Amino acid sequence: MKFPSLQILLTLLTASSLLAQAPKATEASAAPTRLPVSDWTCMGHEDKKFGPTVSGDAISFSGEGFQDKGRGIAAFFPETTLAEGQSLIVTARVTFSGVHSFGLFKFGIFQSASRTKDAGWVGYCAFAGSEKFFPKGGLFASEAGNKNYFGSQTENIIAESTTPQRTSKDERFLFNVKEEEYFIQMSLTQLSGNKIACKFEMAPEKSPDEPLASYEGVDEVPSATGFDALGFAFHQGLSTDSVEFRDVVVELSTTQK
């Protein structure tokens, strides 16, 4: 009876060792798909009285009367329905100039009902800034049949800000939107069971570790099935002469096993 040679045994042992050291399959994200963002508009002002003014990758809104409270700005991207494991990720920089009074800046990802009216949209809206009626801010999910404008609070609040509560006037001042540049991050991830995980954060560029608002929550019963719009609103007191958006990126990312 012949036995394997020493060389063969060494070869088998080496192969076995390499297999044992090989990395196990893990979840990985495929290269994200960038979606074009276009048709920026100040809702209700199709005459473009307030812009947009485009310079390179900067989109700004301003003009006589723009500082009046209640402005809503929107931009659109191809309608996207998330499959399980997919994420819609939005990043942007926003700069406020000529801030006259303090209040809430609201931002979110939506399924639009119209490109000229901001009512009836469904999706997710986060509150940033300071307002005494919302000391913990709020990340709101639209309810089915919503008829309000896209920056409205709803009964379905899926998260409160993890930043400190703003209860006193002095504390609220620290979280006011000021004349500076902010970095915004927003993401929606489709989970199993038709749930959607939401993350939102807004922080000053000069102090990114001190966000105005930071949210993370899960919507158990989503109203939106697809998304095609970004919404930004100035309400509850915030007044600014102009606002500029830069480096606005919308990406679709897929996690693979």
Q: How many residues does the chain have?
A: 257
Match domain 38-256 to its CATH number in 2.60.120, 1.10.3470, 3.30.200, 2.60.40: 2.60.120
CA angle in degrees (0–180, nearest 5) for 105-40-58: 80
* pLDDT mean across residues, the chain: 81
Using DSSP's 3-state secondary structure scheme, residue 126 falls into strand
Cα gap 150→153, rounded to integer Å = 9
Domain map (residue ranges) of the chain: 38-256
Cα gap 124→45, rounded to integer Å = 23
Q: What is the pLDDT of residues 18-75, one digit of tens each?
A: 334 434 444 566 789 999 999 999 988 888 999 999 999 999 999 988 887 668 899 9
Question: Are 97 and 253 within 8 A, CB to CB?
Answer: no
Can you give the pLDDT at residue 28? Answer: 60
Can you give the pLDDT at residue 15? Answer: 41
Can you give the pLDDT at residue 144? Answer: 72
Can you give the pLDDT at residue 256? Answer: 60
Q: Check residues 61 and 152 and name the one with the higher pLDDT.
A: 61
Cα gap 89→108, rounded to integer Å = 11
pTM, two decimals, is 0.81
- % of the chain beyond a pLDDT of 70: 75
Can you give the pLDDT at residue 72? Answer: 87
The closest alpha carbon to 45, from 18, 23, 74, 16, belongs to 74
What is the arithmetic mean of pLDDT over 85-92?
A: 97
Q: Left, alpha or beta for 133 (phi > 0: left; psi -120 to 50: alpha)?
A: alpha
DSSP code string of 61-112 = E--TTTTSS--EEEEEEEEEPPPTTEEEEEEEEEEEEEEEE--EEEEEEEE-
What is the arithmetic mean of pLDDT over 110-133?
A: 82
